[in-house]
Amino acid sequence: MHRILIAEDESRIASFVEKGLRAEGMTPTVVGDGRAAFDYAMTGGFDLMVLDIGLPVMDGFSVLRQLRTAGSEMPVIILTARDSTTDTVAGLEGGADDYMAKPFRFEELLARIRLRLREDRSPDSMLLRQGGLTLDLRTHRATVDGRTVELSAREFALAETFMRHPGQVLSREQLLSRVWGYDFDPGSNVVDVYVRYLRRKLGGERFHTVRGVGYRFVGDESDAVEEPVGPAPRAD
């Protein structure tokens, strides 16, 4: 699940980008000024930042400069209202990975985001494997015992969340916030519906119901590419 920081003070644009990214199965967080952008970016909890240049408190160029000075290598795509060569050159020299001139189409921004996220990862880390089940994070293709299975963006994001936490009980609320976003109605049964889809497509035995709590994904631990979250068990 990609965590994207959006630093944009125009709420119309921020919400447009936020909704779009969420619909793609990403987890966006919006901040409205340059100071917050820098602070959030420095937490290390984000895979990429979409950074507006004209921000209150501290402009996007300063945010970018301070980030790079502080050693952050997070990919940054700058948004500039001014379609000027000067801005673009300044942005790229200041350590931006790419830029978009406003107004832009969401698909254009999405393509650039995907490109930067991809560059950041080695081919091996783009595959999640658990006991006969493989998710290819680049192509969004799932294979079950060598057979290709088509998943929707949401199904893929849910399967990815499970596979990154093998053996762990994930509550409906956790799954809702990771896959659908924090503003989703907590009373919704959409998680149960989508787990049913995954059981049908990927095999019912992999997704255990934990009564009253949520679900647990059962994979083959020794086959895991990703480290399980949390401390490793002690050898003694």
Shortest reach from residue 208's CB to Ca ion, in Å = 47
Q: Which is nearer to Ca ion, 58 or 115 (CB)?
A: 58
In DSSP terms, which residues pair with 171 in a beta bridge? 214
Residues 125-154 that bind Ca ion (CB under 5 A): none
Shortest reach from residue 9's CB to Ca ion, in Å = 5
Provide the CA 76 distance to its chain's centre, in angstroms. Answer: 14
User: By CB under 5 A, which span of 26-34, 46-54, 82-90, 163-171 interacts with Ca ion?
Assistant: 46-54
Query: Residue 188 — left, alpha, or beta (φ > 0 → left; ψ -120 to 50 → alpha)?
Result: beta
Shortest reach from residue 24's CB to Ca ion, in Å = 23
Residues 47-86 that bind Ca ion (CB under 5 A): 52, 54
Q: What contacts 24+ positions apart, CB below 8 Å, involve 56-64?
A: 56/9, 56/32, 57/33, 58/33, 58/34, 59/34, 60/7, 60/34, 60/91, 61/90, 61/91, 61/94, 62/34, 63/7, 63/34, 63/37, 63/38, 64/91, 64/94, 64/95, 64/96
**Number of amino acids touching Ca ion (CB under 5 A):** 3
Shortest reach from residue 90's CB to Ca ion, in Å = 16
For residues 153 and 23, the answer to whether their CB atoms sit within 8 Å is yes
Among 9, 59, 120, 136, binds Ca ion (CB under 5 A): 9
- Cβ-count burial 106-120 (b if 16+ within 10 Å, e if not): eeebbebbeebbeee
Q: Which is nearer to Ca ion, 53 or 175 (CB)?
A: 53
Shortest reach from residue 166's CB to Ca ion, in Å = 42
Q: Which is nearer to Ca ion, 80 or 134 (CB)?
A: 80
Q: Which is nearer to Ca ion, 4 or 157 (CB)?
A: 4
Q: Which is nearer to Ca ion, 47 or 52 (CB)?
A: 52
User: By CB under 5 A, which span of 8-16, 98-106, 120-128, 196-204 interacts with Ca ion?
Assistant: 8-16
Q: At what angle do helices 60-69 and 85-93 cross, to 10 degrees?
A: 20
Positions in the binding site for Ca ion (CB under 5 A): 9, 52, 54
